């Protein structure tokens, strides 16, 4: 087996060239999950919501701890990864990491404010009519972006110990004869990175045609008032439809469990500008004529 990747820890997160199980429990499982997702996407060209690596493919993603190296605590990860996985991981990381290394302002507008702005534009006739068919024609790009966002969330989680050990760093080195890269996270870069890859945003509304199969009121801190199962008539996939007001829920309930399709404007909820166009979460903006 060959050396594929290196994780390097430095600062108070290590103690006398050792590291706590607690710190490793945050880093290694999420890093392995990021590798699993990269292998899945490399093989299938998509990463479905809640998908996991098939057992028969474990050998293409399994990483083993090599001998710890001198200097900062370096953990070589060896294995027989699917060819190109290290390069793909590095390419996924490159742009958001570079943004995280400089001061990046993330818009602070709340989701509800973004939703209300889109409802206002619909009322005034200022919305572009973007159809689901038009979006689905860009499926390759959408699948790539969704896989990237999912993998970046795991990388963000693996750097979370830096919020406790704020004088420390965690580095990821991808080893490749084509393009080896190192991404070093300190507490500030990890914090910036987390905001970049985890901040949710409401995208431009899309016209969906489909059927409402169930509508319930959400309680607690769910974020939206009501939620329904929306079956997209074009993809035949189930999406989660969020509704922010009682009036909207009442109007939609008139079509609940109906046999005739409804046409609605709904905005995808995106993370790192990406969303699952097949099974993702969408927010009701209004009815389409």
Number of CB atoms found within 10 A of residue 150's CB:
25
What average pLDDT does this structure show over 51-80?
85
Whether this prediction's pTM lies above 0.85 is answered by yes
Query: Which residue matches tokens 């209300």?
Result: 116
Between CA 45 and CA 24 the distance in angstroms is 30
pLDDT value of residue 123: 93
Q: What is the pLDDT of residue 67?
A: 76
Report how far residue 142's alpha carbon sits from residue 147's, in angstroms, rounded to the nearest whole number: 9
Chain segment 101-154, per-residue pLDDT in tens: 997 677 678 899 999 999 999 999 998 899 999 999 999 999 999 999 999 999
Q: Which of the four pLDDT bands, split at 50, 70 and 90, describes residue 168?
A: very high
Other Cβ atoms closer than 10 A to 70? 7
Residues 154 and 176 reside in one and the same domain:
yes
Position 221 pLDDT exceeds 60: no
Where would I find the beta strands (DSSP E) of the chain? 2-10, 14-15, 18-19, 63-65, 73-79, 169-174, 181-185, 200-202, 206-217, 226-232, 238-243, 262-271, 281-287
Q: Which domain holds residue 274?
A: 201-287
User: Which CATH number covers residue 229?
Assistant: 2.40.50
State residue 65's pLDDT score.
84
Domain count, the chain: 2
Using a pLDDT cut of 70, give the percent of the chain over it: 97
Instruction: For residues 165 and 187, give the distance between their C-alpha atoms in angstroms, rounded to a whole number.
Output: 8
| Band of residue 6 on the pLDDT scale cut at 50, 70, 90 | very high
| Mean pLDDT across 16-22 | 85
Residues 48 and 76 in one domain: yes
Look at residues 131, 279, 278 and name the one whose alpha carbon lies nearest to residue 206. 131
- 28 found inside a domain: yes
């Amino acid at each position: 087996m060959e050396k594929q990747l290196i994780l390097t820890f430095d600062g108070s997160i290590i103690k006398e060239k050792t590291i706590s199980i607690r710190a490793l429990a945050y880093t290694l499982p999420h890093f392995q999950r990021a590798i699993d997702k990269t292998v899945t996407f490399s093989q299938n060209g998509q990463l479905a919501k809640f998908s996991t690596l098939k057992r028969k493919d474990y050998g293409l993603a399994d990483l083993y701890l090599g001998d710890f190296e001198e200097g900062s605590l370096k953990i070589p990860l060896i294995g027989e990864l699917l060819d190109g996985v290290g390069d793909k991981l590095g390419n996924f990381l490159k742009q958001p990491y570079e943004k995280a290394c400089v001061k990046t302002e993330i818009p602070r507008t709340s989701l509800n404010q973004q939703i209300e702005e889109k409802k206002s534009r619909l009322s005034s006739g200022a919305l572009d009519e973007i159809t689901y068919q038009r979006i689905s024609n860009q499926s390759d790009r959408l699948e790539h972006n969704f896989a990237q966002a999912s993998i970046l969330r795991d990388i963000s989680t693996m750097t979370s110990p830096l919020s406790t050990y704020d004088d420390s760093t965690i580095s990821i080195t991808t080893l490749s004869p084509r393009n080896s890269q190192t991404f070093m996270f300190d507490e500030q870069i990890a914090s910036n990175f987390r905001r970049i890859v985890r901040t949710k945003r409401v995208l431009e509304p899309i016209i969906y045609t489909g059927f409402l199969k169930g509508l319930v009121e959400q309680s607690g801190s769910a974020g939206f008032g009501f939620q329904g199962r929306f079956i997209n008539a074009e993809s035949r996939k189930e999406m989660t439809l969020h509704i922010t007001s009682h009036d909207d829920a009442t109007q939609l309930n008139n079509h609940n469990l109906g046999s005739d399709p409804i046409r609605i404007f709904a905005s995808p909820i995106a993370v790192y500008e990406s969303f699952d166009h097949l099974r993702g979460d969408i927010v009701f903006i209004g009815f389409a004529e």
